[in-house]
Amino acid sequence: MLDKLISMWKDFQEKRRVARDLRPEAFRTLAKELRELSIIASRLRPQESKFQVKVSRIHQEMDQLEELTSKPEFRMLPTKKRMQLRKSLINSKNQLLESVNETAPPTDMPQ
């Protein structure tokens, strides 16, 4: 009996966590983080035109995402689609973090 109650409580907590992760506000927060990371990355690699094109595309896509999440239709998207979108945003964020970390320092002299 107690095991069943504990299991139900854990299931309830997991459903609440998933619901919290899939709210429009959570997507807007992720979009804001991606936009800020892309600004940092573009400042670190200003001479690379291909990279600058990618950064501008990220800005456009994050603007579109913010617009989409502000509409009521976003909540109508299936949970699976929103989970895929969240996973994709997190992967993009990790890739941007890696590109920022891989950037060579601006000077050869140790600071």
| Residue 65 identity | L
* pLDDT computed for residue 42 by the predictor: 86
Distance CA(35)–CA(56), nearest Å, equals: 10
Q: Tokens 């920022």 label which residue?
A: 100
Check if the beta carbon of residue 69 is closer than 8 Å to that of residue 32.
no
Distance CA(3)–CA(44), nearest Å, equals: 53
The pair phi, psi for residue 37, each rounded to 5°, is -65, -40
* pLDDT computed for residue 106 by the predictor: 65
What value does the mean pLDDT of the chain take? 88
- Cα-Cα end-to-end distance for the chain: 62
What are the boundaries of each domain within the chain?
17-81
Model pTM score: 0.77
Over residues 28-51, mean pLDDT: 88
| Residue 87 identity | K
Over residues 28-36, mean pLDDT: 93
Q: Can you tell me whether residue 111 is helix, strand or coil?
A: coil
Convert the pLDDT of each residue in 38-48 to its tens digit: 888 888 888 88
Convert the pLDDT of each residue in 61-92 to its tens digit: 999 999 999 999 998 989 999 999 999 999 99
